[in-house]
Amino acid sequence: MNEIYSIISIVAAGSLLFVFGLLFLLLIVPDRPLLYNYRIARRTMAFSYLFFAVVEILKGAYTYTHVSGSNIMLIQTVILSIAFSQALLFSYSLIVLVNVRFADRRLFNRELIPVLSLIAVLFIAYIACPRLCFRFLFYVFILLYSAQLVRYTHLFLTNYRIFRFRLDNYYSESESKRLHWIVFSFFASLVIGVMAMFTALSGVLLAALIFSIIVIVFYTFFAISFFNYPYLFQRIIEQSMNDDDEPEEPVQPKNDSKPFNEAFAQLEKRIELWIADKGFTEQGITIDIMSAKLITNQKYLSTYINTYKKQTFREWINELRIEEAKILLLQYPEMPLKEVASQVGFSDKSHFLRQFKKLTNVSPTIWKNIVHAQSFPVLTPKRP
């Protein structure tokens, strides 16, 4: 078992992670301001991979030259130390991808210094403390690590929720679906972090071997996804995060703010004309494009939609499109759904079907059949 574990650690984990770490450092990223956060995350992940690779190689070499019973405590210490560091590095890198303001060196150092201190104390305890004392301290560190995972999960979900709100308040399409790999990567790394904790607690070499194989698979997936992300990252960040003063949540006007409400009333008249001209059927429309056509400010229009419609821009546009689609389905029952989707502004049929079912609880075909069966008249679309 020692030999197998050593081979996995040195050849598979260590070598592969080292290569990926070098690629993170050496592959060229376009020198564009919008990719600044991506470059920060790339450097952080390079350090993460290279550090993990060196530790795996050293751990594999030590395991190969020592009998199983004498090194299991060291393996437990190394696994927990790696888990501490990787939880920080992965969480920081993924949060940086969804929050352009998170790439702050001082903020990172405030997170890094306590983690390095804990790792140093853990190794000192392994070297200097009696076995019984070390076991007690080891369980204390397990509790601290669990608290770290809970904190990072809360931090990621908070930043991701705000980022999704910003995307949905800018794009009419579901741009957030392009971020699924980030969410998957975070929760996959979280699961691996929990597995690391139980592997360390178990003290079983076979469990450590299985854990190493799972880690190799995940780190390979993550590296490939990360390498493919820069241009998509630039597209998403370019407009959705360009306003530093954009509200993170809907803003409610004060009841006594008469000029504020009067200005919104004027904006509403222009919006009604825009809806009458079916401006919402333009494919790929963003709130920036719409605000330019209405000759108004993007932030102002966003605040109006969030406050008075109590929806994000994407939700509001999709609702208008679905109401228009209902009319087409009744007026032209033989029209293919793909054509209906295109005419009301959806870029693809599958997105149209998802939004239609989300708002009506049934598919377009079933909805059309129900309405015809009940002999409902053709209605005009609901106007806000």
Final residue in a domain of this structure, among 240, 267, 283 = 240
Query: Is 246 within the bounds of a domain?
Result: no
Query: Is 379 within the bounds of a domain?
Result: no
What CA–CA distance (Å, rounded) separates 201 from 208?
Answer: 10
Q: Residue type at 324?
A: E
pTM of structure = 0.79
Q: Are residues 189 and 272 in the same domain?
A: no
Residue in this structure with the two tokens 């904190």, named with its chain if needed = 151
Q: Are residues 116 and 10 in the same domain?
A: yes
Query: Is 378 within the bounds of a domain?
Result: no
Tokens representing 359?
Answer: 């708002």
Final residue in a domain of this structure, among 208, 240, 272 = 240
**362: left (phi > 0), else alpha (psi -120 to 50), else beta?**
beta
Q: Are residues 174 and 269 in the same domain?
A: no
- CATH of residue 289: 1.10.10.60
What CA–CA distance (Å, rounded) separates 245 from 95?
Answer: 20
C-alpha 26: how far from chain center: 25
Task: List pLDDT tens digits, range 270-280.
Answer: 999 999 999 99
What total number of domains does the chain contain?
2
**382: left (phi > 0), else alpha (psi -120 to 50), else beta?**
beta
Report helix, strand or coil for 171.
Answer: strand
Query: Is 59 within the bounds of a domain?
Result: yes
Q: Are residues 19 and 127 in the same domain?
A: yes
Residue in this structure with the two tokens 């003290």, named with its chain if needed = 203
Residue 247 confidence (pLDDT): 42
Final residue in a domain of this structure, among 213, 240, 267 = 240
Query: Is 247 within the bounds of a domain?
Result: no
Residue 246 confidence (pLDDT): 44
What CA–CA distance (Å, rounded) separates 89 from 85?
Answer: 6
Report helix, strand or coil for 81.
Answer: helix
- Local structure of residue 348 (DSSP, 8 states): S
Query: Is 323 within the bounds of a domain?
Result: yes
Q: Are residues 201 and 278 in the same domain?
A: no
Q: Are residues 353 and 322 in the same domain?
A: yes
What CA–CA distance (Å, rounded) separates 82 from 104?
Answer: 23
What CA–CA distance (Å, rounded) separates 259 from 180?
Answer: 42
H helical segments located in 99-168:
105-128, 131-168
Q: Are residues 118 and 65 in the same domain?
A: yes
What CA–CA distance (Å, rounded) separates 258 from 251?
Answer: 16
Query: Is 121 within the bounds of a domain?
Result: yes
Q: Are residues 205 and 322 in the same domain?
A: no
Query: Is 143 within the bounds of a domain?
Result: yes
What CA–CA distance (Å, rounded) separates 248 from 56?
Answer: 42
Q: Which residues of the chain have pLDDT under 50?
A: 69-70, 240-253, 255-258, 376, 383-384
Tokens representing 345?
Answer: 């502004």
Tokens representing 310?
Answer: 């109590």
Residue 245 confidence (pLDDT): 43
What is the number of H-type helices and E-type strands within the chain? 16, 0
- CATH of residue 15: 1.20.1070
Task: List pLDDT tens digits, range 358-372.
Answer: 999 999 999 988 887
Q: Is the sign of the CA dihedral 256, 257, 258, 264 positive or negative?
A: negative
Q: Are residues 93 and 185 in the same domain?
A: yes
Whose CA is closest to 48, among 100, 115, 126, 147? 115
Q: Are residues 215 and 331 in the same domain?
A: no
Q: Are residues 168 and 277 in the same domain?
A: no
Q: Which domain holds residue 133?
A: 2-240
Q: Are residues 324 and 350 in the same domain?
A: yes
Residue 154 confidence (pLDDT): 96
Residue 343 confidence (pLDDT): 95
Q: Residues 29, 34, 35, CA angle at the centre, nearest 5°?
A: 25
